[in-house]
Structure 1
Amino acid sequence: MKKRSNLTLVLAVFLIAAIMLSKQFLPSAAPDTVADTGTETTIHFIDVGQGDASLIVSGDSAVLIDGGKQSAGDAVVDYLSRHGIADLDAVIATHPHEDHIGGLVDVFEAFDVKSVYLSDEAMDTRIYEKLLDAIDEEGIEPEFPDIGDTIPLGESGGVFTVLAPGPNSRDTYGNDPNTWSLVLRLDASGCSALFTGDTTTRVEQDMIKNTLSLLDCNVLKVAHHGSRTASSAEFLEAVSPEFAVISYEKGNSYGLPDEEVFERLEPIGTEIFETAKHGSVVLTMANGEVGVAS
């Protein structure tokens, strides 16, 4: 009886562990169950110079991922206003680097925002404190999503699924803020897109190991402005995007994007857009097809 009791306890422990692992690594709603509602979804990769800002619009719903540098704030606000955005269902800051969060301060001042999602790690910088103050002034309690958590694209039926980096990312990956970047898969209008922040090859390897089936996407926002510290050949093959967008400023002091990233994308047959060359890039997703807006 005692052995049977011990066996039961062991089985219970394994069952609990399995449930926890499934919650950590699998989305609460599988992306292939997301219906194509017939509503067109538009992704705007806004030209903010050396930084990132992506606006996703579907029907009356809109979500902004990152907002460029603080100096780009006015440009982001103007872009959203010109495209008819009155409020935002969510703002997502992938990680606390200034070229991703700086412009969001102006966004909070200009628009009503319903919800905010942040990476689980912070930086002790003036711009990050300004961002937190702006969020607080809006009366919003920010959320810190984990792997497998989902974020709705408003009422459109579209959904973002968090693929990385997981809780306590500083403990897992160290003090490089790029590794703390939220990586998000969007499923909407029968298509998919991957937003990678400034993630790194180390995090990519973990996604390949833990969420491989969720990496294959139509559209890729190339990580870290085309740096070779990300976009490994194995990762790009897993994503196999039809379209890839690299956001950067021409003549930037980092020498980005790196040529190796183009050499890894080209054999896959990916059509590559660069904000430094093409300006803001707008892709449309509808009825399972991705197109380039005219």
Structure 2
Amino acid sequence: MLQKRYVRFLSGLLSLAFLAFTGCTNSQEQIPVSTPGIPVVQAEVSEPEQSPALNREDGASFSLTMLDVGQGLSILVQADGEYLLYDGGGRGTSSYVVAYLQQHAVTELEWLAASHYDEDHISGLVGVLHTTPVEQALMPDYTTDTQIYQSLQTVLGEKNVPVIHPAKGDTFSLGEAEIQVVGPQNYDYDSDNDESLCLRICYGDFQCLLTGDAEQDAEQDMVASGQDLTCDLYVVGHHGSSSSTSEELLDAASPAYAFLSVGEDNPYGHPTAQTLNALQQHEITLYRTDQQGEVTVYSDGQKCWFSTEPCQDWSAGNQAIAEKPLSTTVPQTAQYVLNTHTKKFHFPDWPSVDQMSEKNKEFTDASRDELIARGYTACGRCNP
């Protein structure tokens, strides 16, 4: 018995020595040894969990994150460690945007941009300006009398942030990325949405198109200008409203992917079936915040990949709860409707009149010559 135990002991020592010599004692490479009657279960070695956003260790020197700000828009772009924040969402999500930047170690923004001055796009920018140093700001070149606009202007001044009102064709840099201003073509539109600052961001062979709340008039002007609008990723205009994402724009941009920032059960019925159908017909892969939360696209300048799988839900917003604009009663004597902001006049039944801000709308029975003498110009589309 002792001799057999001694033999087994020597055999065990020789086996251990062999394993040590061949390097097989590494726990990740160790071959499991079976015991009679007990099955062997091979453990799966999982890859380290990747951060869902702004992880550059996986080879992505560029990323664009669509933050989940509900019925609003906020896009964080990173290129080679430099950052651009395009819009900041509405008042209810301002603290979330600030916390997101802090959690992801964004200690400075090279650029802060407002697409336009609606509350659901700029309230969060005010909070960010109070907490995060900003090198320069890109702002559309128009004014409004809202309180949130005044707050934004005040904090930009208090923080001594240089403000640039870029024009179509201007370019700026973010790391190795180029930011191209592709809209608006002018500031004569009846709707403030059409005066959205539209950016095309190029990083190597990867391009993104951001159009804020620009609607079809502004989209068609961008297309007609002949500038390059092609992109891999399109951030869907105006939260999927039927007034944006025209066929002309989709044909010109030809995106493969779309980011849609929209609030769940929002009171506007966004996104509309019309917009979703257009995206599907163009075979565009969809990601949307109301179904998936925040989403990030990564790129190394050649290929791109995403933080999550595409959304398979193409359902439209609830049109039954959508807030319908109040119909304007046109005085029987009115010959024209004035836009006191753009100093243009239109026929009262022209469709863009419904999109005009009520504070800028004025009906008149004055003649065409009288209006021109007062400094107004005729709309180039309805030709009054």
The normalised TM-score by structure 2 is 0.64
Question: Are 2:200 and 1:181 equivalent residues in the alignment?
Answer: no
After superposition, what is the alpha-carbon deviation per residue over 1:198-230, rounded to whole angstroms, capped at 9, x for unaligned?
001111111111034x11100000000000101
Question: Once the 2 structures are TM-superposed, how far is the Cα of residue 189 of structure 1 from its aligned partner?
Answer: 3.5
1:271 counterpart letter in structure 2: T
Aligned to 2:85: 64
Superposed counterparts of 1:121-200, under 5 Å = 121-153=142-174, 156-167=175-186, 169=187, 172-174=188-190, 176-200=191-215
Distance 2:164 2:110 in 1: 14
Alignment check: 8 A CA contact 1:64 1:90 kept: yes
Name the SS for the 2:305 alignment partner: strand
Question: Once the 2 structures are TM-superposed, how far is the Cα of residue 39 of structure 1 from its aligned partner?
Answer: 6.2
Superposed counterparts of 1:203-282, under 5 Å = 203-212=218-227, 214-282=228-296
Question: Once the 2 structures are TM-superposed, how far is the Cα of residue 291 of structure 1 from its aligned partner?
Answer: 1.1
Name the SS for the 2:72 alignment partner: coil
2:298 counterpart letter in structure 1: T
Question: Once the 2 structures are TM-superposed, how far is the Cα of residue 265 of structure 1 from its aligned partner?
Answer: 1.0
Question: Once the 2 structures are TM-superposed, how far is the Cα of residue 166 of structure 1 from its aligned partner?
Answer: 3.3
Question: Once the 2 structures are TM-superposed, how far is the Cα of residue 59 of structure 1 from its aligned partner?
Answer: 2.1
Alignment check: 8 A CA contact 2:194 2:215 kept: yes
2:125 counterpart letter in structure 1: L
Name the SS for the 1:148 alignment partner: coil
Name the SS for the 1:179 alignment partner: helix
Greater C-alpha radius of gyration: 2
Aligned to 1:35: none
Question: Are 2:119 and 1:103 equivalent residues in the alignment?
Answer: no
Question: Once the 2 structures are TM-superposed, how far is the Cα of residue 278 of structure 1 from its aligned partner?
Answer: 0.6
Name the SS for the 2:163 alignment partner: coil
The normalised TM-score by structure 1 is 0.83
Distance 1:144 1:133 in 2: 16
Distance 1:161 1:266 in 2: 27
Higher relative contact order (CA 8 A, sep 6+): 1
Name the SS for the 1:119 alignment partner: coil
Task: Decide which moves more: 216-225 or 184-193.
Answer: 184-193
Distance 2:180 2:194 in 1: 18
Aligned to 1:120: 141
Greater than 6 Å deviation, 4+ residue runs: none
Unmatched 5+ residue regions in structure 1? Answer: 1-37
Distance 2:110 2:152 in 1: 17
Task: Give the fraction of aligned pairs with identical amino acids, expressed as a percent.
Answer: 32
RMSD over aligned CA atoms reads 1.3
1:207 counterpart letter in structure 2: M
After superposition, what is the alpha-carbon deviation per residue over 1:150-186, rounded to whole angstroms, capped at 9, x for unaligned?
1211xx111111111134x0xx212x11011011000
Question: Does the C-alpha gap of structure 1 residues 83 and 189 become closer, same or farther in structure 2, counting only changes over 3 Å?
Answer: farther
Distance 1:247 1:71 in 2: 15
Alignment check: 8 A CA contact 2:135 2:162 kept: no
Distance 1:95 1:287 in 2: 29
Aligned to 2:70: 49
1:46 counterpart letter in structure 2: L
Equivalent pairs, count: 250
